[in-house]
Amino acid sequence: MHSYVILYRFQKEDLNRNFKEKVLAAFPRHQDVTDAGFEYIGVAGGEEPAVVDTLNGILNEMGIGREGFFGQNDYVALYFSRDKDDDDVKRQLLIGTQDMVDKDAETMSADAHRNAILNLLKVDYAKAQPNK
């Protein structure tokens, strides 16, 4: 199992809530954190392609995946690090653009944003009890 952090934002609150519910159901070992208006979900998952497939499935089911329509400011980003270097955090965008995420991140300090992601990546969700 690997740790991942999902950062997301949807213009419509019902999409935020629906996405969060589906992600928490798909990844029972998780921790969700809201900091400075950012919604982060740390999860335990298998290999990166499987986690991406699960998230893409959720987005497509909601009608907002790459094949559907999503708002001008909507994004979902998946953060992870390779086992060799925990501080080398990678980001994969599932919907939205790099500029959207970076522009939003500018509203809080870069250190606070990075620390929130790093702290959630360091949690060993595989050893944690599943959340309900």
Calculate the alpha carbon distances from 122 to 48, 63, 92, 115, 130 in Å: 16, 32, 18, 10, 17
| Residue 129 falls inside a structural domain | no
Name the band, by pLDDT with cuts 50, 70 and 90, for residue 70.
low
Q: How many domains is the chain built from?
A: 1
Beta-carbon-side half-sphere exposure of residue 3 (alpha carbons within 13 Å)? 23
Q: Look up the domain containing 46 and give its range.
A: 2-122
| Residue 131 falls inside a structural domain | no
| Per-residue model confidence as pLDDT tens digits over 20-64 | 999 999 999 899 888 877 889 999 999 999 999 999 999 989 888
| Residue 127 falls inside a structural domain | no
Nearest to 78 by CA among 61, 96, 99, 60: 96
pTM value surpassing 0.85: yes
Residue 51, SS3? helix
Spatial separation of the C-alpha atoms in residues 122 and 12, rounded to whole Å? 30
| Residue 80 falls inside a structural domain | yes
CB 2 within 8 A of CB 44: yes
| Residue 97 falls inside a structural domain | yes
| Residue 57 falls inside a structural domain | yes
Instruction: Give residue 103's pLDDT.
Output: 74
| Residue 132 falls inside a structural domain | no
| Residue 128 falls inside a structural domain | no
CB 29 within 8 A of CB 131: yes
